Chain A
Amino acid sequence: MLKIRFHGRGGQGVKTSSRILGRAAFLDGFIAQDSPIYGAERRGAPVVSFTRISSTPITERGFIFDPDIVIVMDETLLNDWLARPLEGIKKGGAVFVNALSEFPPPEGHDDKLFITYDLTGRALEILGKPIISSPAAAAAAKITGLITKSSILEATAEELAELDLKDELVEKNIQLAAEVYDAISTPVINTQESGSITSEVSPLDYEPVSYEEVIHLDIVNLGNSALRRTGNWRIFKPIVDPQKCTGCLVCVVYCPDSCITLDENNKAVIDYDNCKGCMICLRECPLRAIYSVREVRVYA
């Protein structure tokens, strides 16, 4: 069985990507299983999805802890302490990263093969949107070495049609998927089934009646949402042009996360630790003083 784990951000097409791959495997005669996992759904928040491909019945469900292949759909996730996309990958496994340029394997991951391709850049050019469900699925399909090109393209068409995409956009996605499938070469993946990946069993005991007090499901450490920085949710980064900014406060008022203030020169300043990159400021600025650049933070 091959286990593929997709890491991306809400809005990138993470779930659809795992579904395109799952359907393609199904079309190629394999037994497939695909599923997503996410909390409260938010654009930009880390999302994970999974595809299992096997020639025998699949006896697992849920989270893939020990993937053979990991698809990182946003390179800024590589150092996200919650997403931890590289965790548990089997020795000899492959990691695909949607990134502008190649980089050496991060420390501790020399035993894995890293493949990069700028999916977002190509998606922006061909689709005009940073949605990469089909090219990420195509990349995964090629890396597995199991999925035929015709199946991945057919699966792309079927999955996107189910999402009510216009024919023209489906066609562009197929074009993009084909390009990525052809551009990436299949690596040699030689992973071994790992043993137990969780710690030892320790059933919960019962406290005696003499126990003083029950444990309440309460949170008293308040203000802890400040610990959760949301700055790495961005796919695009808004930048203020100080030459044009007049300090009119429109962006300050419209920012849903109160991330914009004015500095001593009356110019808008964005708190990049918490800005989620929603781009409302860019749309609302009456002087077009805010522009955007693609968010890239190469793994350090």
Chain B
Amino acid sequence: MRDIKVMAGNVAAVEMMRVEMLTGNVAAAWAARLADVDYIPAYPITPQTEIIETLAKWIGEGVMKAKLVQLESEHSMLTAAGTASLTGARVFTATSSQGLFYGFEMLYNISGWRAPLVLVNVSRGVAAPVTLEPDHNDVLAARDSGFLQFHAETCQDVLDLILLAYRVSEDRRVRLPSIVNMDGFYLSFTREPVNLPSQETVKDFLPPYTPTLPFRASRPVVKGASVLGGHIYTYFKHNIHESMRRAVEVFDEAARRYAELTGRLHKPVEGFCLEDAEYVLVMSNSFTTMGKRAVLKLRERGVPAGLVKIVMYRPFPSTQLVELLKNRRAVAVLDQNISLGMGGIIYQEVAGALYHQRNRPEILMSVIGGLGGKYISPEEFEYIFNALQHPEGREPNTPLFLFRKDELESVKKALGLAGLGGEMG
């Protein structure tokens, strides 16, 4: 641990800026601890388990005051999380991939109940084939569930976005749950320096959660009643959609305040090297760091490359995104996911957002990469930008599937080992 103490004449000015080497998982645990959460329903799954292990350890040691309960499944875990949140408890929980899917039906209930909890999803590709490494088909499956979604690039983002998520979720103009996403392994098990705000700073930033009509003994209330006929159902779905739309502005408010307190300003969509950029790559999550490196390399060679990172995925920040992408020559959307039979999920949404923009880029290219945590090499990033500069003959709606020769060799070898032909077949 490295403490940077700014000693001054009076005690109040002693602000402790702690910078620690933290994994994304421990950063998430720290966020829950700093947010002073009351209740943590848990169920282990790789690569998320370290989060609840860390929280359990702290609670056991007495340095954190919260109730952690291990349930018998993610379905029970999410049910407990939503209902506890409705009592007025600040609730934190975490899962990944198959676990998220096992509890999936509860996601829509939790948002319908207006339970503003925060769920961390540690992305992991969805079986079959079985993997532990990340892509975003797990978290994007939850995109329509009424959860706000924030996607982290760094371990610092994990911590910051969880704190921001609590403030936006609990805001009375929004009152919807959040998912904060981090990539398994690339963030969850990766340590890097993380600034830890003080407990006082977080307390200042995050007002207490005051529930509306909470569950109380002797004062029953029905949440999420059944409504036949469709019109009441429609009315409340619209109501949630409306709250989602408001969340963009509420997020900006919260982010400005967070920046005042910590010096770190988060935006729904972030631009990188966009000045005069003609060729822009849109992407999200931890691989963005590597995308930025590729952009810098191209800039060195005089290629006007740039990058746009989507941080807030729900509500989808169409306006901000269009503002950054208009007047560009060519844009590629790198999807670390695939809607099988359609292509990249985010590509479709970016295309939809740009449709009404008069000065939309002429070329909008779909790229699929990083599925199951497949590494994206500098050469692959460069390949994308080359394709943007020379789009001739490429069918733009057919996704470019990133892959390398050595990987193809490896696949052949694996097929041989499996007895399915190839080198050893």
Contacts and interface: CB of A to CB of B under 8 A. Distances in A.
Interface of A: 39, 204, 206-207, 209, 211-220, 222
B224 interface: yes
B193 to A, nearest CB: 36
Nearest to A63: B229
B213 A218 contact: yes
B10 to A, nearest CB: 39
A219 B219 CA distance: 11
B146 to A, nearest CB: 12
Given A206-B245, A219-B225, A220-B221, A212 B213 contact: no
B374 interface: no
A213 B172 contact: yes
A218 B172 CA distance: 15
A206 B224 contact: no
B404 interface: no
A217 B236 contact: yes
Nearest to A224: B222
Given A216-B114, A218-B223, A209 B172 contact: no
Interface string B212-242: 1100000011111100100000111011001
A222 B223 CA distance: 12
B55 to A, nearest CB: 29
A216 B245 CA distance: 17
A206 B245 CA distance: 9
A39 B222 CA distance: 19
B173 A216 contact: no
Contact of B174 (A207, A214, A216, A218): A214
Contacts of A218: 212-213, 221-223
A207 B242 contact: yes
B172 A214 contact: yes
Ranked nearest first, the 8 interchain pairs of A and B with the lowest CB-CB distance are: A219-B222, A213-B172, A209-B249, A204-B238, A214-B175, A209-B246, A214-B243, A217-B236
B212 A211 contact: no
B385 interface: no
A222 B175 CA distance: 24
Given A206-B245, A211-B246, A39 B221 contact: no
Interface string B186-228: 0000000000000000000000000011000000111111001
Given A206-B245, A207-B242, A209-B246, A217 B114 contact: yes
Contact of A217 (B224, B242, B246): B224
Contact of A214 (B224, B239, B249): B239
B149 to A, nearest CB: 18
Contacts of B212: 213, 216, 218
Contacts of A211: 173, 246
Contacts of B250: 209
Interface string B96-138: 0000000000000000111000000000000000000000000
Chain B interface size band reads: 20 to 34
A222 B234 CA distance: 24
A90 B246 CA distance: 46
28 contacts: A204-B235, A209-B250, A211-B246, A212-B172, A212-B173, A213-B172, A213-B175, A213-B212, A214-B114, A214-B242, A214-B243, A215-B239, A216-B114, A216-B212, A216-B213, A216-B223, A217-B113, A217-B114, A217-B223, A217-B224, A217-B236, A217-B239, A218-B222, A219-B222, A219-B225, A220-B221, A222-B220, A222-B222
A61 to B, nearest CB: 13
Interface string B51-65: 000000000000000
A207 B66 CA distance: 37
Which residue, of A204, A207, A215, A216, has the highest number of chain B Cβ atoms within 10 A? Answer: A216
Nearest to B246: A209
Contacts of B228: 39
Contacts of B234: 204
B319 to A, nearest CB: 13
Interface in B24-82: none
A209 B244 CA distance: 10
A78 B234 CA distance: 30
Nearest to B176: A214
A207 B113 CA distance: 20
Nearest to B242: A206
B175 A220 contact: no
Given A204-B238, A212-B172, A212-B173, A217 B112 contact: yes
B144 to A, nearest CB: 18
Contacts of B239: 214-215, 217
Given A212-B173, A222-B220, 7 more contacts: A204-B234, A204-B238, A207-B246, A214-B174, A214-B242, A216-B114, A217-B113
Nearest to B227: A217
Nearest to A221: B222
A200 B150 CA distance: 40
Given A214-B173, A214-B175, A219 B221 contact: yes
Nearest to B235: A204
B305 to A, nearest CB: 35
Contacts of B245: 206
A34 to B, nearest CB: 20
A39 B220 CA distance: 24
Nearest to A62: B230
Contacts of A209: 173, 246, 249-250
A213 B239 CA distance: 11
A218 B113 CA distance: 8
A40 to B, nearest CB: 8
Nearest to A211: B173
A293 B360 CA distance: 76
Contacts of A206: 242, 245
Contacts of A204: 234-235, 238
Nearest to A40: B226
A214 B213 CA distance: 12
Contacts of B175: 213-214, 216
Nearest to B114: A216
Contacts of A222: 220, 222
A207 B239 CA distance: 9
A219 B232 CA distance: 13
Contacts of B242: 206-207, 214
A39 B221 CA distance: 22
Nearest to B113: A217
Contacts of B221: 218-220
